Structure 1
Amino acid sequence: MASLARPTMSMALVPVSGERPAYALRVLLVWLVLAVILIAVNWSSIAKVRFGDPDDALRLLQVRDLLAGQSWFDVHQYRVMAPQGVPMHWSRLVDIPLAGMILILRPLLGTANAEFVTVVMVPLLTLLCALMLVGRLAAKLFDSETVGVACLVTGIASPLLFQMTPLRIDHHGWQIVLALAALNGLCAQDPRKGGLAIGASLAALLAISIEGLPLTAVFLGACVLRDLRDPQRRFAWFTAAATPLALAGAAIYLGTRGTYDLATHCDAISPVHLGIFAWIAAGAWALRLAGPRPIAVQLGMLALIGAGAAAIMLGGAPQCKGGAFVALDPLVRRMWYAGVSEGLPFWRSPIAYAATTVCVPMIGLLAALDHARRAPTRERMWLWLDYAVVLAGSWAIGLLVARATASACGFAALPTAALVLRWIRGLRTEIRPARRVGGYLAIVLALMPSLPVVAWGRIHPASSNRIGVAMKFSQCRYDIAANALNRLPATDIFAPLDIGPDLLVRTPHRVIATGHHRASAGMHDVIAAFIGTPQEALPIIRAHHATLIALCPDIAEPGIYARRAPQGLMAQLMEGKAPAWAKQVELAPGSHMKFWRVQ
């Protein structure tokens, strides 16, 4: 059996500077600066534990349930659509650092303070992991000065930084870290070590979110292209990446899901996906054992691997050909999913965000191609071209799904930083002030392409909403509302989807649904009741045994329902016209929330 030997053509990556071991210190200094800034900027939200996304609140609830004794393999939320609950598709991998830190700090600080420190620090530690991976690549491919600049460029990439802001404890930050770990693997010298890093990182990424499938295909494609360039490698990179993807994928599945749920799901890694990974790994080994063959034979075998993977997917899960959210109720799809901004393509995003989505990875891609053109060796040139392939693939994914842009920004940070540093070094010797000023302005625009758009929005406030620079924060104080709600016996609260997680994490009460697609039946009922007439809404509310209606009037969701149905229940509640069966109560003065008792 052939071994995963080092490639004949060297991929040696010798750092320009002899200071590579010191890169961690530079990374740590940049991280400390960014951490202080993030805490200072977000202190108002931090002090009130005001989560920026409902997913973060529900993630904390999931961790609490785990620490309270819920089975490791059971990720149901039993206080949503009680009593049967909702089987969430989230991975326990993301719960590990949160639960671990709470367990460590709880004896010292108490439960409440341990949770507070955890929800602040875990996202910042996620950021540190991302910066360390970027810094490691910078030290390997350039020098110690580039390390600091690359980390700063990473820190000003708003799509990435948002996912690692204090209180942002959901899974997106770890997806970015794992994608950067796979990128480090691609830049390794040894295909055995590099392939292991790629495959294991992608397996963990997919366990966290099946949205990593396109990026997985991009990385495997880059490995295949690398192997096709040199037949003597005998598909060492493809085999080294596909094998741990299959093995680690199965191990993580069994370690986090067990045999609790062996059904095929379209929104999470299931046995059918593990079968596909095993098939790809077997195909990779067949290519490797077959040895060097004419390119037509190699391409034919690769096509067979791809066709087999598609056949397994269509044969084992034909229902998934419509995508991860194929099972969504039509009303939920139209009223909720179609408006989830983080899942939209760039042309449906606010202009400021779209500018970042398009320009930041594009500048990084152009920089990577420029580094390939200037490469001192053929090996280094091919390395940068492989890097460009992965960056281009992640950019294309980000153009179609906004939340995927964060990984593309992380990939773009290093080549952009190295290019910017070269410009800065050139400008240091520029004696003409006008050219020097112009050069530095060009650097600022390269690093922050949305700046002109934001400036225009500040000058012309009427356009700020479309541009995406208008920041409106809700006045609702869930902490004040929770103080009042906690004095009531536990009940079912009929509330809009986006406030459900905050009510769950702060009170012992139950809600009908949250904005999570596996609760599609409950989501349908919530939406149908709020856009229906009071007479249509009452049977739905009573069917769920809800005794209280809760509303935060200044978030987006109630306005969407009111505009959709001007005569509907939500529109009437917003106007203060409660139906006869609902009595408004001043339950929590000062919370800015509204409550009605169901008669």
Structure 2
Amino acid sequence: MSTPPNRVHRYLLLVLAVLVFGLCLWRAGAAPIIEGLPFKDSDDIMRVLQVQRWLETGAWYELTQPRLNPPTGVDMHWSRLPDLPLAAVIWLSEPLLGADKAALLAAHLVPALLGVAFFAAFVWAARPFTGRAGLLFAGLVAIGLNVPLADFAAGRVDHHGWQLLLATLSAGALLRILALLGTPLGARDGTRFGAQQGTRLSVQLARRAPAPWLAPLAGIAGALGLWIGAEAIPPVAFGAALLALGWLRHGRRGAEQLARYGLALTLTTLALIPLALAPGARDSSACDAFSWVSVALAAAVALFGLGTIAAEHWLARGRPRHSRADQRVPSGHMNHSNVGPMGHLKHLGHAQARLLLAIPLGLLLLGLLYMLIPHCASGPYAGLAEPSAQLVARVSEAQPLLKGLRERPATASSFIVLPLLALLLSAWRSRVSSPRARTRWLGMTLLIAGGLLLMGWQLRGAALANLYAGLALTWWAAAVGARIGETRRLLPRLLRRAGPAVVVALLPLVVTLTVTKISDSSADSDNETCDLHAIAERLNQPPWHTQAPLLIAAPVNLGAPLLWLTPHQVLAAPYHRNNSGIEAGTQILFRDAETARKVIAQRGVDLLLVCPHDPVATYERRDGITLFYDQLLAGETPDWLVEIPHDGTARLLAP
């Protein structure tokens, strides 16, 4: 049996968990969207506003934000799952602290607690690569994963941390399955890290099939992720691919695990329908939120899993029944007289035969999905009107990797360095490991490659790719750490214990600094922005406060901050379901003055806010057209607008 981690290691893991909690709280002031508050972007603000409205109304299914694009408001495409802990903290603390302070307490506390849960899940998920005795090294690596941990910084209350936590749980369960599939029943996986003087680290997965709860755990995690948002589709697909790999290499045992995963995924998505969809909307086929589309995707995985079991039965029928005469046939020859109807396919080799069956089965299911949900074929944002489509295309995290490397080379390079390093490590381990260990390393390679492909499509895949990379790099940390007993000198012992984790933490930073120096990508000259607090102070005074709620037309990225800081309404915020508000805001600021005047009158806009250096203006400027936005920044004021003085750099005007 493998040696359990000693008590000191357990205490150290607890210390590391506390350190993660502290780091998450410490990052409260990192890159806030509103100076002095922990929120990182508009989604964080809108999430808290959504929770506050839920607590006010008690309406579970009411996800409309009425102060955004009134009078109809905007129906948000979000899930209630991330709302639950926020609502609990606010509900418990509001009588003592008041509404605003209770909301800020929740914004600090909930992401940090989720960060601790992520840390624990990561350490658990890494065990197939570190063994029980190497979990401390996994904890050290986890603390160095800056890209994933950024989603657990205080104020980061939106759903991204939830998706990473669920993806970690799913990956941990599936990698355990692959590790155990690679170990024949009654055998032991002999993966060991060399050691001397009594210190030895080993991964031993012995004499047992995968636990029956592992595949269902991964399926449930995937279904909860689908409830939260469409970002869970890649991890769900990667999970199916991992177990398909297990089937290709290990036959019926892998097929059974794939079927369990798919069935758990499907049954959980079905069970979530009453929680996720209002009674009158349970026929929804939305592509951008949980709907029957999610159920269809899950069902496709289940059908593929059941199809692999059927394929195993089919192949088994075609296997030749060896007689004693057959057993005397030299290796490489076979007695064709006993080959059944599928025998020739079977004798292509186990993996090749299964692959030839998997391809048509997969294509059939993809074709069926296309027939059922053709409107989602181009992705979750299929069918968007032009203003919303432009907004989605301009979001920085939606840019492909190559564009990111051109426009933000330092940031994009820091995103890919660990996944590339881990991909090389996993590919090497897949080649040199024993046959029993090879399956899990091939699976790890598949996960990292999938994360890189996702990042190649959109940079928002960086956190997932770095998560998978971190899991692979725990093997390296444990392998180096296991050699600590070979020396008694302090410095070598410290380097072997913490060196790999330090590399994981510092390598992206070093790459960022190096690329910045080489490319001079920090030469952004003017970072002047709106002083939101000065604007809010003016709008929270008479006569504007007494007339609330007034409708404000402002840059789209300032919509959510204005909703938080003032009692007023806004025309637009960066949400693709707010097409009419986004279109109206674009016509006001980024067309000519006459168009702006007409739209302001049509929509009943009460206030107009113009801030310097709005990134949307970069896309909207054209030869021969003077934008109303540029006229206002140049100091021009048409006779149908009145300047409202305030202590800030922005311009605030009223019709």
TM-score, normalised to structure 1, is: 0.86
Hey, what does 1:273 align to over in structure 2? 294
Shift of the 516–70 alpha-carbon distance from structure 1 to 2, 3 Å rule, reads farther
After TM superposition, the structure 1 stretch with the greater mean CA deviation from structure 2, 380-389 or 202-211, is: 380-389
Hey, what does 2:306 align to over in structure 1? 285
Deviation at 1:532, TM superposition (A): 0.8
Query: What secondary structure is seen at the aligned counterpart in 2 of 1:163?
Result: helix
1:510 paired with 2:498, answer: no
Query: What secondary structure is seen at the aligned counterpart in 2 of 1:549?
Result: strand
Hey, what does 1:354 align to over in structure 2? 412
Hey, what does 1:307 align to over in structure 2? 363
Give, in whole Å, the separation in 2 of the partners of 1:565 and 1:220: 53
Is the Cα contact below 8 Å between 2:125 and 2:173 reproduced in 1?
no
Partner amino acid for 2:403? R
Q: Deviations over 1:88-147 (max 9, x none)?
A: 111111111211221222234332222111101111112111110111234554256743
Query: What secondary structure is seen at the aligned counterpart in 1 of 2:80?
Result: coil
Shift of the 179–308 alpha-carbon distance from structure 1 to 2, 3 Å rule, reads same
Q: Deviations over 1:308-364 (max 9, x none)?
A: 432333223322222222322334434x33321101111222112221222211212
Q: Deviations over 1:33-90 (max 9, x none)?
A: 2443443454485982252211111111111111111521221222222122222111
Is the Cα contact below 8 Å between 1:27 and 1:148 reproduced in 2?
yes
Give, in whole Å, the separation in 2 of the partners of 1:21 and 1:380: 28
Hey, what does 1:323 align to over in structure 2? 379
Percent same amino acid among aligned pairs? Answer: 23
1:392 is aligned, of 449, 453, 465, to: 449
Give, in whole Å, the separation in 2 of the partners of 1:407 and 1:283: 25
Deviation at 1:415, TM superposition (A): 2.4
After TM superposition, the structure 1 stretch with the greater mean CA deviation from structure 2, 205-214 or 400-409, is: 205-214
Hey, what does 1:124 align to over in structure 2? 112
Hey, what does 2:93 align to over in structure 1? 105
TM-score, normalised to structure 2, is: 0.79
Deviation at 1:369, TM superposition (A): 3.8
Give, in whole Å, the separation in 1 of the partners of 2:244 and 2:229: 24
Shift of the 125–32 alpha-carbon distance from structure 1 to 2, 3 Å rule, reads same
Give, in whole Å, the separation in 2 of the partners of 1:526 and 1:583: 19
Is the Cα contact below 8 Å between 1:75 and 1:88 reproduced in 2?
yes
Give, in whole Å, the separation in 2 of the partners of 1:243 and 1:258: 24
Give, in whole Å, the separation in 2 of the partners of 1:567 and 1:399: 36
2:46 is aligned, of 45, 48, 58, to: 58
1:185 is aligned, of 151, 155, 173, to: 173
Give, in whole Å, the separation in 2 of the partners of 1:100 and 1:564: 53
Query: What secondary structure is seen at the aligned counterpart in 1 of 2:377?
Result: helix
Q: Deviations over 1:153-212 (max 9, x none)?
A: 333333212211111111111111110010111133525312111111111112212132
1:90 is aligned, of 45, 69, 78, to: 78
Partner amino acid for 2:639? A
Give, in whole Å, the separation in 1 of the partners of 2:452 and 2:17: 25
Is the Cα contact below 8 Å between 2:269 and 2:294 reproduced in 1?
no
Is the Cα contact below 8 Å between 1:476 and 1:592 reproduced in 2?
no
2:272 is aligned, of 252, 261, 264, to: 252
Give, in whole Å, the separation in 2 of the partners of 1:455 and 1:276: 42
Consecutive unaligned residues in structure 2, runs of 5 or more:
181-209, 316-345
Is the Cα contact below 8 Å between 1:266 and 1:320 reproduced in 2?
yes
Is the Cα contact below 8 Å between 2:28 and 2:108 reproduced in 1?
no
Q: Deviations over 1:500-544 (max 9, x none)?
A: 111123333221121111112221221122111111111112211
1:201 is aligned, of 200, 221, 241, to: 221
Hey, what does 1:550 align to over in structure 2? 609
Hey, what does 2:192 align to over in structure 1? none
Is the Cα contact below 8 Å between 1:93 and 1:256 reproduced in 2?
no
Is the Cα contact below 8 Å between 1:220 and 1:238 reproduced in 2?
yes
Shift of the 298–165 alpha-carbon distance from structure 1 to 2, 3 Å rule, reads same
Query: What secondary structure is seen at the aligned counterpart in 2 of 1:493?
Result: strand
Shift of the 202–109 alpha-carbon distance from structure 1 to 2, 3 Å rule, reads same
Q: Deviations over 1:400-430 (max 9, x none)?
A: 2111110121121132133145446769859
Q: Aligned pair count?
A: 576
Give, in whole Å, the separation in 2 of the partners of 1:304 and 1:258: 37
- Taking the TM superposition and a 5 Å limit, the aligned residue runs for 1:19-168 are 19=5, 25-43=11-29, 45=32, 48-69=36-57, 71-139=59-127, 141-142=129-130, 146-168=134-156
Larger Rg: 2
1:213 is aligned, of 233, 240, 253, to: 233
Is the Cα contact below 8 Å between 2:530 and 2:648 reproduced in 1?
no
Partner amino acid for 2:521? S
1:531 paired with 2:590, answer: yes
Is the Cα contact below 8 Å between 1:492 and 1:511 reproduced in 2?
yes
Hey, what does 2:325 align to over in structure 1? none
Give, in whole Å, the separation in 2 of the partners of 1:173 and 1:565: 45
Give, in whole Å, the separation in 1 of the partners of 2:269 and 2:216: 12
Give, in whole Å, the separation in 2 of the partners of 1:324 and 1:201: 20
Deviation at 1:378, TM superposition (A): 3.7
Partner amino acid for 2:19? V
Give, in whole Å, the separation in 1 of the partners of 2:138 and 2:553: 48
Shift of the 221–453 alpha-carbon distance from structure 1 to 2, 3 Å rule, reads closer
Give, in whole Å, the separation in 1 of the partners of 2:498 and 2:125: 25
Give, in whole Å, the separation in 2 of the partners of 1:148 and 1:576: 60
Is the Cα contact below 8 Å between 2:125 and 2:168 reproduced in 1?
no
1:363 paired with 2:351, answer: no
Query: What secondary structure is seen at the aligned counterpart in 2 of 1:352?
Result: helix
Shift of the 135–510 alpha-carbon distance from structure 1 to 2, 3 Å rule, reads same
Give, in whole Å, the separation in 1 of the partners of 2:376 and 2:613: 37
1:379 is aligned, of 436, 439, 447, to: 436
Is the Cα contact below 8 Å between 1:457 and 1:464 reproduced in 2?
no
Shift of the 144–250 alpha-carbon distance from structure 1 to 2, 3 Å rule, reads same
Is the Cα contact below 8 Å between 2:410 and 2:513 reproduced in 1?
no
Is the Cα contact below 8 Å between 1:181 and 1:201 reproduced in 2?
yes
Is the Cα contact below 8 Å between 2:389 and 2:576 reproduced in 1?
no
Is the Cα contact below 8 Å between 1:531 and 1:564 reproduced in 2?
no
Give, in whole Å, the separation in 2 of the partners of 1:20 and 1:344: 46
Give, in whole Å, the separation in 2 of the partners of 1:418 and 1:465: 39
Hey, what does 2:330 align to over in structure 1? none
Is the Cα contact below 8 Å between 2:307 and 2:361 reproduced in 1?
no
Deviation at 1:374, TM superposition (A): 6.0
Give, in whole Å, the separation in 2 of the partners of 1:566 and 1:448: 47
Is the Cα contact below 8 Å between 1:582 and 1:597 reproduced in 2?
yes
Partner amino acid for 1:319? H
Hey, what does 1:407 align to over in structure 2? 464
Deviation at 1:473, TM superposition (A): 7.2
Give, in whole Å, the separation in 2 of the partners of 1:472 and 1:174: 33
Give, in whole Å, the separation in 1 of the partners of 2:239 and 2:173: 10
Query: What secondary structure is seen at the aligned counterpart in 2 of 1:550?
Result: strand
